[in-house]
Homo-oligomer: A and B are copies of this chain.
Amino acid sequence: MSRRILIVDDLATNRIILKVKLNAACHETIQASDGTSALKMARDEQPKLILLDLMLPDISGIEVCRRLRADPLTQHIPIVIITASADREKRLLALQAGADEFLVKPLNEVILLARIRSLLRTHELESELRMRSETWAEMELAERETVFTLPGRIGLIAAKPQTAIGWRQSLSPHLLDRITILSPTEALSDQADASEQDIYLIDADLGAYGSGLRLVADLRSRKQSRHSALALVLPEVEPNAAALALDMGATDLLPCPLEGQETALRISLHIQRKRRADQLRRAVHHGLKLAVTDPLTGLYNRRYGMSHLDRVAASSARSGRRFAVMLLDLDRFKTVNDVHGHAAGDAVLETVAARLRSSLHPKDMVARIGGEEFLVVLPETTMGAARQVAERLCRSVAGHPVRLDELSLEVSVTMSVGLALGPCLTDGPRDTSAETRQILARADAALLAAKSDGRNQVTIASAA
């Protein structure tokens, strides 16, 4: 993304006026005088925001807006429509075409710049999320579409109940979303997760509670509402007050009395945007989970297992409590693959993984660190307790055969376990990474001994 703002207007004078205003506010600009070159510049230059006049010589501004939103390369760029007429139909069309804001000439500079700041702030946050999670978001397209069809949650907060009831009456014919009337206290309640809203409509004057702006600041500092859209409902939009509200974190300003259809449209757009950001946040979370997971069994992978062991060793160095390391290996697993095929082998690994996991406490960790090899780490334990766990794991695998329903087959498998206890008690300073290598080597030697002793058993490492 470039850091420039694209000005689209067919009149050179208008472009120059905007350029001067924006340069004074330290924004760099580029310019286009018709729709075709605007679309090309938006793709090639990736501006951070577009100021778009509705009257263009070739394509209408509405159509430019629609095409920008349809192109994956430009769909995320904020668009502010600038026009000479405040015509309600045009405004609705522009919002439906995907415009973020609609300003009428002559432009009030304070409002223009505050809107730009507000859009850029939201947009930077979103693009940071997107940069991290694009892959995941795409991988989970299906989930995204489900989420978007769920109705949104709208909270209405006004000083007088009848005000909020009036808002609900003007909005509900145009929206399928769930509308709830809340007091400021209910909106801020720490118990309010269940009623977390996608968007809050907030009266500018909340009577005894104070100003609506104060509630904006309060909601932005609460866990349940920090990512929500916050729209302030104002009797009249005085430029400095409006700029202040946007700078304090209000997402939008709605003129009072509410115009049902347009407000509903704006609300829908804010809900969509909030849902998309939520989805990106979930995608980041999911991506991180994948990075530490073995795809076949869902256990932790080798990378995570080893780093977890390092941390347990370091924590034991601080606490002085002992910890246990087990290396587990399925016996003669190659035969399963050779005789029954890889699909059967994979099914066996999945079942064994599930049995291991369900035989361990949440504080214990099991990772698949090789084809048929697993690592188990028990923090803060004793030799006696660890040995019992190891034997329980052995039994959980050998106890009953693995049923492969698809192949109408039962396969019996057993497992050998090498168990070692850390730390290797020494005086003087400790080197946990050397200790980690050493304890793994001892567990591995014990595992080999278990194998050569006849398999399906636990062997304990000799002292270091």
Contacts and interface: CB of A to CB of B under 8 A. Distances in A.
Interface of A: 3-4, 25-28, 114, 116-118, 120-121, 124-125, 132-133, 135-136, 138-139, 184-185, 188-190, 213, 217-218, 220-223, 226, 244, 247-249, 284-285, 287-288, 290-292, 295, 303-304, 307, 311
Contacts of A184: 26
B132 A288 contact: yes
A288 B284 contact: yes
A184 B118 CA distance: 19
Given A121-B226, A221-B120, A221-B121, A136 B288 contact: yes
Nearest to A226: B124
A118 B218 CA distance: 9
Given A26-B190, A121-B221, 9 more contacts: A4-B190, A26-B184, A26-B185, A28-B190, A124-B223, A135-B288, A138-B311, A290-B303, A291-B291
Given A121-B221, A221-B120, A307 B188 contact: no
B291 A287 contact: yes
A132 B283 CA distance: 11
Nearest to A289: B291
A292 B190 contact: no
A26 B189 contact: yes
A136 B292 CA distance: 10
A116 B214 CA distance: 13
B284 A138 contact: no
Contact of A288 (B4, B116, B247, B291): B291
A375 to B, nearest CB: 16
Contacts of A248: 244, 247-248
A157 B440 CA distance: 56
A200 to B, nearest CB: 14
A191 to B, nearest CB: 8
Contacts of A285: 132
Contacts of A291: 287-288, 290-291
A25 B125 CA distance: 28
A117 B287 contact: no
Contacts of A287: 287-288, 291-292
A27 to B, nearest CB: 7
Contacts of A213: 247
